[in-house]
Amino acid sequence: MTEIIQHAISTDITFLDTSDIYGPQTNEVLISKALTGLGREKVQLGTKFRFKYESSNHMDVSGNPTYVKYACEASLKRLGVDCIDMGALKELVEEGKIKYVGLSEASASTIRRALVVHPLTTIQIEWSLWRRDAEE
């Protein structure tokens, strides 16, 4: 898998999107291994977190600031980097742990509320052959 990521980077893929739920969590470790020797400056990293693992078979959604900071620290460790280029909270920007704030799968009202707190750099929506809602 790391070879696929390295090939993508060598063919000018510059943004890697991760999440603690992908794998779960193994994708960030794979990206860390793939970046070894390539140089961190070749890519922008984005990650998402919102699912708190209560046990091996149960997850809860959590936007609690304490949990989000914990999740960010865990992602930084798994990715093997000092800073995530895109993340989810103003405080993490102020602490230098992320460069930008973005939202994933957010409603219009959530976007409006977020903009009051901090400028958004990106808004990620699901658009695929199966989900065409964004066109409406």
pLDDT tens for each residue of 21-54:
887 788 999 999 999 988 888 898 888 887 776 6
CATH class of 2-135: alpha beta
Strand order in the sheet with 122-124: 15-19, 44-48, 84-87, 98-104, 122-124
Q: What share of the chain has pLDDT > 90, as a percent?
A: 22
Q: Is residue 67 annotated as part of the catalytic site, yes or no?
A: no
How do the domains of the chain map onto residue ranges? 2-135
CA–CA gap between residue 135 and residue 65 (Å, rounded): 33
CB atoms within 10 A of CB 83: 15
Catalytic: which of 22, 53, 67, 70?
22
- Cα distances from 113 to residues 1, 16, 108, 117, 118, in angstroms, run 38, 27, 9, 7, 9
